[in-house]
Amino acid sequence: MKFSKYNTSVYHEDKFVFFNAYTENFLLLEPFLMDLINASIAEDNLKGLAEIHPPIYILHC
């Protein structure tokens, strides 16, 4: 599965605001979770992300 092309994130007040334009869902993320997302994309391992943090996987993939 590919990371959704509808995703975007903005750093705001020590957190990341993650938005999916297709579903119109927002998610407020701690920086370490954003690092986890970026690592899963770089390693092409989104299924691994599903095992570690299912809500992020469901909302943004």
User: Domain residues of the chain, as ranges?
Assistant: 7-60
Q: How buried is residue 37: exposed, middle or buried, by Cβ count under 10 Å (0-12/13-18/19+)? A: buried
Q: What is the pTM of this model?
A: 0.64
Q: Rounded to the nearest 5°, which phi and psi values hold at 20? A: -110, 110
The pLDDT of residue 38 is 82
pLDDT tens digits for 1-59?
457 788 888 999 999 998 889 889 888 889 988 888 888 778 877 777 777 767 666 66
Handedness of CA 24, 46, 37, 44 (dihedral sign): negative
pLDDT at 27: 84
pLDDT digits (tens, 9 = 90+) for 31-40: 988 888 888 7
Q: Which residues contact 56 (CB under 8 A, 6 or more apart)?
A: 27, 29, 33, 36, 37, 49
